[in-house]
Each structure stands twice: as C-alpha cells, then as structure tokens.
Structure 1
Amino acid sequence: MSSAAAANADPAPPPPGGVLWSLSGDIRALLMLPAALTLQVAHPAVGAGVDEHSVFRTDPWGRGERSLRSLQLWVYGGEEAAEEGRRLRRLHRTIRGTDTRGRPYHALSPANYAWVHATGFPVYRHGAHYLIRPMSAAQERALYREWLQVGRVLGIHDRDMPQTVEEFWPYYRGVLADEIERTVVVRELVATDSPVPPPGRGPLPLRILLRALWPVLLPPLAGFRAFLTVGLMPPDAREAIGLEWTDAQERALRRFCSVVRVVVPVLPERLRYLPRARRARAAHRKAGGSWGVSAN
C-alpha cells in the first residue's frame, strides 16, 4: 500500500486476541458500563449534552442497547468499526449548547469528545481488578494501546489523547481536579428513586408481566445499579464527583465480586460472552488465530 493510500485508509479496530477482545465482550464488562457513563457525564459539557439531547430518560433501555451495540462494533466489528465511528460523529455534529458553567460546548470539540472516550480506560482497569483480576503492567499498557486504537476508529486524533499510560494519568487527574462535578445527570444516574420505564422490548406476555411487576422490581434494581455504579468507579473519580462510599459498601462489593469471579469463568461461552463477541472469537479460532496479552 502506498503512503497516500495508507493515510486515507480507515483505522483498524484493536487486534483480535488482545485485551479488549477478552474484556469488552465478557458479560462482566456490562457491570462496568454504568460507572463509565457516570464518569463521562460528570464533565459539565458532556453532562449538559446528555441532559439536553439524549433520550436516556424516556428510552433508557433502547439507548443502552444501541450504546452496547456500538461499543461491540468498535472492538469486534472489523470493517464495520470505522463506519460506526463515522455514524457517531454524524450523530454528534448538531449537539451543542451551554454547559453548567455558562460555557459554550460542542459534542465533537476535542476536549469533550476525547474525555468521553478516555473514561473507558480507568473504568475497565478498575473494574477488572474487582471482577476479573488485577491487570499486570503489560496488560495495562496493552489495554491503553488498544483503547487508543478504538479512539482512532471513533475519529479522535492522536494529538487529542495522551499517547502513553504515563501521560494519561496526569491528564486524567487534571480533568478530575478542574472539570468534574456532580451534574444533574450524575445525580439521576446514581439516584434510587428516579422514574425508569419498564423494558419495552421482548415478547408481549413478558412485557405485560414486567409492566405489572415494575413498581415492585424497580426499587431493588435501581439500588443495585447505583451500588455498582459508585462501587466500580475508580476511587479518585468517585471522590472528585462527591459520591459517598462506605466501608460496609466496599465489603459488600468485594463479596459480590468474589462470587462473580468464581461463577463467570465456568459458564459456557454462549453465556459468558455477548453475541457479537462470541461470533468474532469463534471466527478467530477457526482462522487459526492466537491470543496475545489478554485480560483473563
């Protein structure tokens, strides 16, 4: 390939068999996503954009499904990954307004767009510590390299993201110190009494049953979601936002995670991995692919 063609080529998703291939398709990653979303919207501009333009209040289940589909495409989508990145940029072009500090914002401004992506690295790292096992230095570096590659798929320029783990932490701590706050959206995401409609998908009898039982099911589900959101958030981010976390909650989280660490690895692959991840892993094995530095 010529240098001109290489410059115009779509960025490739992270390599098969790497850390993200073992991590982002694992069902345990689903437990980490609320913490990442909450850390994203703790940024005043991102929080304002979600507050004013998102359907997370009226269609939380549909929004969650679409977000998960998008994330899986970034990692396992092959040639579809770059198109998904372009779709997301088109979607965010019109998202602009004024943040909680009276500053104009645009969703695709480098600082805002990069922060939304950057939060995935510390949350994955912290969540793996509890739900899988602590990452080695080699795994952390591989995860960060692969997360940078996902950023390129999303259209984030290298100049807008720290290019090494050593450069990432000062950047991250600077955003925590200077920008992060307990926005309106953060308060809603960690509340246990926010109104949430029942799931609107699935067979009609199941939907009818859920609507009937929803007043009983919602309070414990909301409490559990808030518990995981705060608990699986890195402690420095939790402190920057001003989220309370007690020693008793920490002990309960560790007990829960110890059960998850035992149960999930013995599940059959069809239950352990999300469908797109499962298909991609099977195709990789069939092609004789090997596994590099993984998170497992």
Structure 2
Amino acid sequence: MAGDHAHTGPGTGPAPGPDTFSGPVPFAPGSLLWDITGDVRILLSLPPALVLQVAHPAVGAGVDDHSVFRTDPWGRAERSLNSLQLWVYGGEQALEEGRRLRELHRTISGTDARGRAYHALTPAYYAWVHATAYPVFLRAAQYLSHPFDEPDERRLYDELLRLGAILGIRQRDMPRTPEEFWPYFDAMVGEELERTAVVAELLDPRRPIPPPDGAGVLLRRLWPVLRPPLARLHVFVTTGLLPPTVRDRLGLAWTARDERGLRRLGAVVRTVVPLLPERLRYLPTARAARRAARG
C-alpha cells in the first residue's frame, strides 16, 4: 500500500507484469475503496499498514536502505499519500501511476539484515506490501467507522485484487479469496515477520521528527512541546490498529487499559468525522474526484 515499495510467491526477481487479475480497471463511484481511500480516517490506517509492510525483513531492508523516511518524513508521506489517491481516484492516471511505481522499484535491491538478497519487485514481497491493506482496513473499520459485514469484507477483498492489477501484481501472487487470505496472512505473521530496525524506529515515540514542511513560525516554536504527545498518540493508535497476532509477533505491549482507550478514541472519531464538511472530511484528490463525479 502506502510504502516505498505472503501465501509466499515464487522465487526472486522482478515481477513480469502481464499476468494480472483481469486487466487493470480504474475505480469509479460506488466502490468501497472510492469511499474509504479519500476519507481523512485513512491517515490513521496507513501507519499500521506501513509497520506491517516493513516487518517483512526484505521490505524493511528496502525501506531502510532506499527510503528518505528519516531525512524527509513529511515529503515522503505526502508523496505516498498522493500516489495512493491516484490509484483510486485517478482514472486513467491510476494506470500510469502503477507503471511509474513499478519502474521506480526496479532499481531497489540489496541485502537484508540476515545477509539475504532482496529485490523490491520480487513477487512475494511486492504482493505482501499490497496485501497488508486488507487486515488493516478491516481492523480500522472496527474502531473508526463501522465493521464490515461478510459480503462487504468479500467485496473489499475483490476490490483490492482489482487494485493489485493496477499496481502490476500478478494473479498467482495473491490469495484469490478471503478464505485463502487468512491462512496466508497467519503464515506470514508466524514465519516471516519480525521486529526489524525500521519497525522499531517507526514505533519509537522519541524518534526525531522535524516540524511539518512549510510550518509557520509559531508552529516551529511550539513543535518541541507538541511533538512528544503527538508522537505518543501516533504510536498508540498505530499499535492498537495492528492485528493482535502481529503485536504478539513483534513483542508490542498492549493492555486492557490501552484497548479501552482506543475504543474511546474510536467512538469520538466515528461521531465527529461524519459531521465534518466535505472539505475537511475528504483529502484533496478525493474531493476533486467526488465533485467531478457529481457533474
């Protein structure tokens, strides 16, 4: 999903590309992703998805070696978010963005912390980055909006497979159904994921983060006071929205008190966000697409 770009797929090496689900098809109004991806609550869903992605040793090594998340955290976040919005709201631009991302990732390779070679377009790794969206979207909905029923869970998964086609993920590298997805996910969590250096860094509330790009003088002056509580809140929500099995695998503490706190926060978000005017509830690309769709 939003990252510097596992049923575990075959071998290593770049994914060829043509073997996709049924051919890339841009999204339109009426799809679940059209409603979810532009809602401001996506900003709370993306960090746990990123943690899931970089908990894979190969993906974590790629981000560690090639990403600018340390030197340009706000710029990287903005670029990733803009790319994600294009996938869903960009129409034909979505297909071009998928091609651009594949080309961008062709040069990302190296050796992970255990001395194993990786390439960003290795099918199993590229598919895992995309697959993390499903459990995180479902879990975020439980707290921040409303849980999906079984038909909508299936519909969401089908749409994510469509999105995978836009991103060049081959049909055979993703589970085909939700029933196939969960054994795949459990195997990935139990056999592949680990507390990589990037996971530890992303979940460290003491991580040094500069003020947002373009911040005014007042915000810059207040940033040393604002950053610590904001960082703690960010880590708290990110940890809480990870599936419990992932928290256990990564050795992340989560208490009953933490759970109650997250549920209270979720109740506030569920109440407030639907009341916001469209200019505050939806991200800019989504707002523009929604206006265009209304004619």
Q: Using structure 2 for the length normalisation, give the TM-score.
A: 0.90
1:246 and 2:265 are equivalent in the alignment: no
> Aligned partners of 1:21 and 1:38: how far apart in 2?
24
Paired position in structure 2 for 1:97 = 110
Q: Higher mean Cα deviation, 104-113 or 231-240?
A: 231-240
> Aligned partners of 1:68 and 1:44: how far apart in 2?
23
Paired position in structure 2 for 1:82 = 95
Paired position in structure 1 for 2:8 = none
1:29 and 2:42 are equivalent in the alignment: yes
2:270 partner letter? R
Task: Report if the CA contact (8 A) 1:58-1:197 is conserved.
Answer: no
1:73 and 2:86 are equivalent in the alignment: yes
Paired position in structure 2 for 1:164 = 177
Paired position in structure 1 for 2:51 = 38
Paired position in structure 2 for 1:127 = 140
Task: Tell me the SS of whatever aligns to 2:228.
Answer: helix
Paired position in structure 2 for 1:219 = 228
Task: Tell me the SS of whatever aligns to 1:102.
Answer: coil
Task: Report if the CA contact (8 A) 1:13-1:81 is conserved.
Answer: yes
2:54 partner letter? V
> Aligned partners of 1:118 and 1:238: how far apart in 2?
17
Task: Tell me the SS of whatever aligns to 2:118.
Answer: strand
Give, in angstroms, the shift of residue 87 of structure 1. 0.8
Paired position in structure 1 for 2:265 = 256
Task: Report if the CA contact (8 A) 2:28-2:89 is conserved.
Answer: no
> Aligned partners of 2:264 and 2:110: how far apart in 1?
43
What is the aligned counterpart of 1:114 among 98, 121, 127?
Answer: 127
What is the aligned counterpart of 2:62 among 18, 26, 49?
Answer: 49
Q: How large is the RMSD of aligned CA atoms in angstroms?
A: 1.4
Task: Report if the CA contact (8 A) 1:10-1:82 is conserved.
Answer: no
Task: Report if the CA contact (8 A) 1:35-1:123 is conserved.
Answer: yes
> Aligned partners of 2:58 and 2:214: how far apart in 1?
32
Where does the alignment leave 5 or more consecutive residues of structure 2 unmatched?
Answer: 1-19
> What is the count of residue pairs matched by the alignment?
275
Q: 1:19 to 1:144 in 2, by over 3 A?
A: same
What is the aligned counterpart of 1:232 among 241, 259, 262?
Answer: 241
Task: Report if the CA contact (8 A) 2:23-2:165 is conserved.
Answer: no
1:189 and 2:202 are equivalent in the alignment: yes
Paired position in structure 2 for 1:292 = none
1:267 and 2:276 are equivalent in the alignment: yes
Task: Tell me the SS of whatever aligns to 1:233.
Answer: coil
Paired position in structure 2 for 1:276 = 285
Give, in angstroms, the shift of residue 284 of structure 1. 2.1
> Aligned partners of 2:135 and 2:102: how far apart in 1?
23
